Amino acid sequence: MPTADRGPKHEVAVTTNEIKRIIIIGAGQAGGETAQRLRQAGFKGDITLIGEEPVAPYQRPPLSKAYLLGKLTMERLLLRPASMYAEENIAFLPSVKAVWIDRAGKKVRIEGGRELPYDALVLATGARPRRLPLVGADLDGVHLFRTAADADAIRPDFVAGKKLIVIGAGYIGLEVAAVARQLGLEVTVVETAVRPLARVTSPEVAGFFLDEHTRQGVRFVLGGQPALIKGKDRVTGVGLADGGELPADLVIAGIGVTPETTLAQHCGLAIDNGVVADAECRTSDPNIFAIGDCASRPMAHYENRIARLESVHNAVEGAKIVAGVLTGQKPHTVEAPWFWSDQYDLKLQIAGLFQGYDHVAFRGVMADRSFAAFYYKGDRLIAVDAVNRPGEYLGAKMLIQTGRSIPSNIIVDESKPMKELVASAR
């Protein structure tokens, strides 16, 4: 249940004309996009962007892909050149932590005691990686994976022949495993579930990726429970609950994230798997908005089901919504959720939310390493997993976004181009 609101009562939302000062807490993709879109929408007032990292807002997804592989520089990860913030008169405060929100006084306190006034506040605080709850998790060579600094700390150890244990077989874990194999490391993935990607895709698609990684030389310990990290000063292995031991030169944990709601909780905002927000991204305080990984909000294409999504799409969508609301723009068309994952030469593109599906239809053949899995709830298409099939991904995304569908027995017929099927869909 949401936590009780302990803040000031009967807040009244300030009007667009009254908003002269906007503070954004969190300088990830959601926060950076919001600052830029406010300026693009014509906001002339003060914008302050507060970020705990020392760098300007950047893309996180490539960290476990091209950046870790050494094919992408930090400069190319940046959403905008760092100089843009000064040019657009955006006060960007890097390496600064917000420690308190005074809702009654409409102020944000940062480390050191300085207080910054606001008319509207945007929480884009993201999420923090879950730490391994194991003895030895603080040893040298044991890493979390969330920030550019995390990737930078790992890269020197990504040397051919070294033994890597990845704990967790979600997208981050499998992407890191793929990069490590391409660089010649010996890789073992330990996953407590009986298959990889258990929470995010169907058994069939999970099986495809399991087979692909196994073919590439990754070893899996499925249904495995890590019990402790072994080593004196530096990690030497991972002990399993069944008594087994896996030798390791380094360990990377990818066991999920927790929404960063500390500030929101302390100032009494409603919390329920993230900061609770409405369709306009307003929290239980109408002058405070929450977007990105930290926020839980209604999903327009899924009967306004409340969900918290960790994706670029959700970060950008929240920025668009908030910038529009704060500048009095007309609401924009909300996109269907989308995600992607790169593993080896496989590009997995996902549209929609597959939870609650009752059957899946396949277009293409898995053995060809090019196919699409369409998820249905009754006769309604709700999601797609497309592997090296951009046309099927884009077509399904459009269908979900417009509330149309194609019968599953027809969508599998490859003699009919996807574009043609989409054009005739109702």
- For residue 8, is pLDDT > 80? no
Same domain, 113 and 145: no
Half-sphere exposure of 178 toward its Cβ, with a 13 Å CA cutoff? 24
- For residue 168, is pLDDT > 90? yes
Place of tokens 């994976």: 145
CATH assignment of the domain containing 418: 3.30.390.30
Tell me what percent of the chain is helix, strand and coil, each rounded to the nearest 5: 25, 30, 40
- For residue 45, is pLDDT > 90? yes
Cα separation, 321 vs 319, whole angstroms: 6
Q: If you average pLDDT over residues 370-395, what whole number do you get? A: 97
Q: If you average pLDDT over residues 305-328, what whole number do you get? A: 94
User: Of 129-133, 332-336, 363-367, where does mean pLDDT reach its minimum?
Assistant: 332-336
Tell me the percentage of the chain whose pLDDT exceeds 70.
Answer: 98
- The verdict on residue 293 lying in a domain is yes
Cα angle 136, 236, 62 (rounded to 5 degrees) comes to 80
- For residue 2, is pLDDT > 80? no
Please provide residue 324's backbone torsions phi and psi, each rounded to the nearest 5 degrees.
-65, -45
> Whole-number mean pLDDT of the chain?
94
233 exposure class (CB count in 10 Å sphere: 0-12, 13-18, 19+): exposed
Name residue 124's amino acid: A
State the pLDDT at residue 15. 81
Same domain, 104 and 173: no
Q: If you average pLDDT over residues 168-195, what whole number do you get? A: 97
pLDDT range class, residue 416, cuts 50, 70, 90: very high
Rg (CA), the chain: 23
Asked whether the beta carbons of 277 and 261 are under 8 A apart, the reply is: no
Q: If you average pLDDT over residues 295-321, what whole number do you get? A: 91
Asked whether the beta carbons of 158 and 179 are under 8 A apart, the reply is: yes
- For 379, the domain range is 345-424
Same domain, 264 and 410: no
At 207-218, the pLDDT tens digits run: 999 999 999 999
CATH assignment of the domain containing 141: 3.50.50.60
Domain-terminating residue out of 297, 327, 357: 327
Please provide residue 70's backbone torsions phi and psi, each rounded to the nearest 5 degrees.
90, 15
Domain-terminating residue out of 295, 327, 359: 327
Query: How many domains does the chain fold into?
Result: 3
Q: If you average pLDDT over residues 297-304, what whole number do you get? A: 84
Please report how the helices 171-182 and 203-215 are oriented relative to each other, as an axis angle in degrees rounded to 10.
Answer: 20
Same domain, 67 and 24: yes
